[in-house]
Chains A and B, each alone.
Chain A
């Protein structure tokens, strides 16, 4: 049965191939997916659609992922949205900085199957 009230996921990712794969697989799992390829657009879209979760890359043109995360966490109405950092940077300092800024989880793309990414998304979504 089609899900009439799908959870909304915002993917902020500047690599077209990665974005395409994530959008594809989240769509397959019944999520309504929105995407942005830079930080500014990601923030604008977050305000507009109020997603249930944000999957956020770190290296982005313009504002980087940490800056986007900081703004999301300090904006009324957006601060409660769980943000998962999805990056290929994975030094301890980046992971710690991400978690300190309020990220719900941190995943290194090259080390995770898409199936695991979907599980992490599901785990971090608030129950309806």
Chain B
């Protein structure tokens, strides 16, 4: 990457036209991160109020800028992850992990959002204790977080989200059920495609990128696992994540 960036800066030519195409998203995403970092950090400095006291309205507006900037950073990070997948550069840093613990960490990060939206939550472990699995903890936590986040985001106030982790003979299966808007039948086949967003969810969350599930599927498949779902529009969706166990 550092060489490719140098070539670009020097006005040089990348090895082939094809390489230029595949590098384009990666290069531009990396380049976008720099101004986004500067915006992020100056917002932070402004909010410390060391540069001067801010009134309530100013703080509110700066926080709006901050939220938008964080969304832009998340989008750039997603694009980078997608290009890593496409270039076959997905690297797994595997170690022993406790799936229940990874789920609990993701749940903790979503608790305040669930409380704010008055969503009831249940977590159940079936056939425990669970065996230790060997995964890239950061990447699997990201998948779990993505599935849980979707469940919470697309469930109306007063609904419920249920997570079940179940030990099967050769795998651990984790399900995320919500009482949300569901996925229209004619759109279900496209759900894991890049940039695809359901017609009903775009109305609820206009700022999604349509990359989360594509990335989740790539990460799960890199672990030789599976991801699938069942859904009924207007009633809810259950996503399933299965990961092979290495010990019986």
Chain A residues at the B interface, C-beta cutoff of 8 Å: 15, 17-18, 21-22, 24-25, 28, 58-59, 64, 66, 88-94, 108-111, 113-115
Contact = CB atoms under 8 A, between A and B. Distances in A.
A88 B31 CA distance: 8
Contacts of A113: 40-41, 44
A25 B45 contact: yes
Contact of B42 (A17, A89, A94, A115): A17
A10 to B, nearest CB: 19
Which of B33, B35, B37, B73 lies at the interface centre, i.e. has the most chain A CB atoms within 10 A of its CB?
A: B37
Interface in B41-96: 41-42, 44-45, 48, 50, 73, 76-77, 80, 84, 89, 91, 93
Contact of B84 (A18, A58, A66, A91): A91
Given A59-B5, A66-B2, A92-B91, A25 B38 contact: no
B30 interface: yes
10 contacts: A15-B38, A18-B34, A18-B38, A21-B38, A89-B5, A108-B33, A110-B40, A110-B77, A111-B77, A113-B44
B23 to A, nearest CB: 12
Contacts of B93: 92
Given A17-B35, A17-B38, A21-B41, A89 B2 contact: yes
Interface string B166-201: 000000000000000000000000000000000000
Contacts of B36: 110
Contacts of B13: none
Contacts of A66: 2
Given A91-B1, A94-B1, A111-B77, A21 B45 contact: yes
Given A15-B38, A64-B2, A88 B45 contact: no
B2 A59 contact: yes
Interface in B15-44: 30, 33-38, 40-42, 44
B6 interface: yes
A64 B40 contact: no
B2 A25 contact: no
Given A15-B34, A88-B34, A114 B41 contact: yes
Contacts of A22: 41
Given A15-B38, A17-B38, A109-B34, A115 B44 contact: yes
Given A17-B35, A17-B38, A110-B40, 11 more contacts: A24-B45, A25-B41, A66-B2, A91-B89, A92-B89, A92-B91, A92-B93, A109-B34, A110-B33, A113-B44, A115-B44
